Structure 1
Amino acid sequence: MGVTMANLESNATELFGSFVLGDDEFALPASTIREVVNFPDKISALPLAPPFLEGMFTLRGSVIPVVNLGRIFQPDAPRAEKSHKIAILDFQHVQVGILFHATGEVLRVRPDQRTTLSYASGSTQGVIAGTILLDDGERLIQVLNPAALISIENVPQVLALQSTCQKQQRHNFRTQAARRRCVSFRAGPAAFAFEMGGIQEIISVPEIHNSMLNSKLCLGRINFRGSPIGVVDFAQLLTENGAARDTAEHTDAERRIIVIRMDDATVGFMVDTVDNIIHFADDEVMPIPLLSKVRTDMFSGCISRPEVGDVILLDHQKILSRSEITDMRKGHANLYPDEAKPKDGAAAVKRQSGRQVYITFALDAAYAVEIRQVREIIDFSDAITCPPGMPDYMRGVLNLRQQMVTVIDMRSLYGMPALVAAPAPKILVVERGADCYGLVVDAIDSIMTIDDSKRFAAPSLMRNPNAEHSLANEMREVIDINDSPDGVRKTLRIFDCDRLLQSLDALRPAQAA
């Protein structure tokens, strides 16, 4: 790379903001500095990111990737610390946080105090654009190149990002677009989500059969409803160098396999935990600049909320390439030719029958609720307010994104004892007209697609005629699954949200005329 020095010929005085990094001083044009902020309380890891990307955080509706400038020059430089500052660079509608040790001052620089670096034609543009000499040459400040800083590694679809920003500037209010749903999960240090439409099922981890014919991405295969499918460790997929990751943080009971349909292929992704169902609108998805060049198409954006943190939304169709899917399917077809053949006869008839998607959850026993009856799932919150005079079964009210949710303690409602030393419960958010309810349950287990033929009327022995108000008495139907993906026969009581809300209406005291 050829580099030449040239003095500026412009007569205009320029403004720069200076920053300190170790023993060096750097500067950015003042017009490109949006603001300087303290190191955020929470910074989320960026998957597949190069070493100099510390992570990302959200700032007033924008996702800000944080660049550790020291690691650009020296890859093994120290990581960020809480005492560091972040300068928000705003250039060409892309915002990037530049990590510094301390802020400097605002400089008014004459042309004779500046020099620029001129890079040879065709060479990579460096992050240093030139220098500023002050105090009779005793003080040297390196000028950073904003254009290089926003494109060090990769800015996916920069033109689309610019278009998005321009549209958001024209529409500075929350649109009433159709809302969508996604399922959030954790894999490694970050939180991700798949849109609901891309998920076939979410299951507990069954026995995984290893094979020497597996591809490098594939852990093995599982028997999923009579067919072999490949299983990919999602967190391992997100390690660029393929290094082994620490799996001690999560137990096998917490891990789940998210079964995704990718065109004509079915693939399972093993994740550490499945967290919530998130209800969101298009304008809540913020674009993510500055990701690695690896698998950038799979990142659709970021959803950021206080109750869920930063969640990276994924495009399930673009996680694996066609060649990777083909290799995975070919290995299983060669090893298990009988299982890979499509079933015929009675099995084909069964596949043509109606199917429903259910969320399974725990409340002493195992229950299932049709997913269409639930708007979203959230973590139990300490922000619930309990007004005086409410019944025991009402935990209080929760402000969920400017909508008041009445929180119902299901255990108290049905006379169940409180759990001792239980993990944090979940809240099923149910919306009926203008009313919104949050139903507190012990835990969310999985999301399953089940044939209507598996749904039966509940036996009368499951009901307790002596109980005046019993959850079991309201369960009119059950699901019997003898071919569940984990190989365990299950009987799930079907929970009907509408029946529950009718019961709550009956419990309300009559209003005086």
Structure 2
Amino acid sequence: MDNPLPDVAPGTRHDMQLLGTFHLGEFELALPIDTLQEVVGFPQAITRVPMAPDYVAGLFMLRGMMIPVLHLGRYLGLPASIEQGESRVAVIESNGALLGIGFDRTGDMLRMAGTQIVPFQRDSDTPGLIEGAFHLDDRIVQMLSSEALVHLPGIPRTVITHLARQAREQRAANRIRKAISFHVDARPMALPMEAIHEIVRLPTLEHSVLSDAVCLGWLDLRGRPVPVLDLAAFLGLDSCATTPPQVSDFEDARRVVVLRNDAFYLGLLVDDIDSIVSYTDRQLLPMPAMRGQTGVFTSCINRRDADASADADDLIMIDTAALFADAHLAHLAKGHHDLYLVADDQTRRTEIRRKRVRETWLTFRLDRLMAVRIDEVSEVIDSHDALVRPPGTPAHVSGVLNAGKALIAVIDLRSHYGMGPMQDAGQRKILVVRHEGHTYGLEVDSVESIISIDPAEKITVPSLVATHMDAELRKDMHQVAESSEHGTVLLVDTLSLMRRLTGNDEPASGTEDVPEDATPSMA
């Protein structure tokens, strides 16, 4: 992936990031592809480290390198979700240090614009484990910080030594490469990493007039039509189009691997995505020519010598150039481009400019759906029972929480807005905000998602709606936004709320800086 260039507008090609996603319990997490060395099955031979925390699974050997393995689910306090034999280890490198991260399974490979990723700010110079998030379809994917992972307490520091560097240079001399492995009719196959534009979940496909036994329809990839091919049908194998494999009772394991050749796209429907595999030219074995064999198989990755797994399957490599050279597939790629292209260059430039001014909001619930600007929230934490209530504390203040660096006054918004107590408080969260040098917490029923709102979509709260609001609520709800996905969202004016809570309804002029560890005051 190219490094971002200076003075390049956000949303352009050079601002794109290639990310790999992984599943861990109920969470979907992402890592930049350029920090990922490879993804392997959980090693059978692993050596425990004496005196190490329980989230350090141990050490294993991979291509002459000793790699520590972090049991990330255990570190986060998550219950074990599947058998260890089904899990994966993503090997990352950060500042010369190597670390394996244990995940339940691999997810998608996404190409995201930098403007789509919301960074999380931290009060200290120490990087947070979660450095940002982005909204994707109906879910939120959280970005892991490779630097924070390798610096977790108790993690052995496997730094690339002189001998290891020599081995690494030797591997580079052998042209080490990466591929994405997957299954088609239970057969292990692979595509070179550089040939893949994106990997996405199988959506509901649009009808195509070019549909046939191979083409299932098309998907809209940010204004670009991508014909989706039943790769199994194209290869004469049993298709997963009608009987999808499942990774759980609810999730479809199928993925669409998107390939690009100039302005044309092809999407390949596969059973699942397995791993990221490293290989060298020395491991590529030429495919013998046989009568009747399709010309898209040119070689096979010999994995019998690999250190990752003694019983790893060899991988049949698909030649993407041969796919686009196939007369029928080339006709499908060009035909969908000509028929269904919905964004020419001028439209895309207009869309990029429009997205630049869109605002990102964090939605939550207090009987109804509300939202605050995400840049006004420094973090989201679980609701705490261990709060101290100083004498004379107002009824709408749950108490004061000692967060280490500062005292946080926690506001019960339900009480403040005249709402009854919540029956099930198990999902309650605290939105941490800062106002005039102090830190405050806004207690809400639950946090829902991150959404993007065009300022043009915001309207003043209709008087008919305002008359049914609590008097205090009307003072902070000046606008609403209509979303096709979420319906009506009440937008909280955080500045108005904080000024009234602190007894400072008027904007302060010439306010001096307040020490960060000062005790917050509430009216």
From the CA coordinates, give the structure whose radius of gyration is larger: 1
Shorter-normalised TM range:
0.3 to 0.5
Highest relative contact order (Cα 8 Å, sep 6+), 1 or 2? 1
What TM-score comes out, normalization by structure 2 length?
Answer: 0.41
